[in-house]
Amino acid sequence: MSKSNFNRNKSDKNNEEFQEHLVAVNRVSKTVKGGRIFKFSALMVVGDGKGRVGVGMGKSSEIPDAIRKGIEDAKKHVIKVNLHKDTIPHEIIGKFGATRVLLKPAPPGTGVLSGGSARAVIEAVGIKDLRAKSLKSNNPCNVVKAVVRGLKSLCNIERVAEIREKTISEVLN
């Protein structure tokens, strides 16, 4: 197998494992001497549904190119999220810029109760039961980044025990 075929097969494998979600497309115009120039930016979320998620922004003069660039950027910025069954281990507030997003664990069967931008990230991670509320700003880019920061800062019981220098049973009691 040649090196080029090996790389192609490797990239095909990565494409299969990630789900891609288009969160927002924005059109920006620039006025020049000859008229207006339109460009597009696409906010993309990729996730494997098993606790990994990435967010990326792509900009181009064509929408498909912007989406492709956004997917590539999102795959470069994938993070691992600590999950507890089908929800998150504890309540947290994710912050980015003026945006605050409240993420609360929910009992099984609740589903994802969330707005559009936050829902894309939550479903890409693979969370089945969660309540989320966007506070202050509702800019899709900032909401997505606030959710990712919140999910990134989640702690599991092993990490808490390690920080406190105790065993897991001591932390639970």
Summarize the confidence of residues 124-149 as an average pLDDT: 92
The reply to whether 94 and 123 lie within a common domain is: yes
pTM: 0.82
Report pLDDT digits (tens) over 60-100: 999 999 999 999 999 999 999 888 888 888 889 999 999 99
The reply to whether 45 and 91 lie within a common domain is: no
3 state DSSP class of 94: strand
Per the domain annotation, does 171 fall within a domain? no
Calculate the CA dihedral of residues 154, 124, 95, 24 and round it to 10 degrees.
170
- 112-113 and 130-136 strand pairing: parallel
- 78-80 and 52-60 strand pairing: antiparallel
Q: How far apart are CA 107 and CA 77, in angstroms?
A: 30
Residue 157 has pLDDT above 80, yes or no: no
DSSP state of 115: -
Structural domain count of the chain = 2
Contact 142, 95 (CB under 8 A): no
The reply to whether 95 and 74 lie within a common domain is: no
The reply to whether 68 and 107 lie within a common domain is: no
Per the domain annotation, does 10 fall within a domain? yes
Instruction: Kindly report the CATH number assigned to the domain that includes residue 146.
Output: 3.30.230.10
Per the domain annotation, does 170 fall within a domain? no
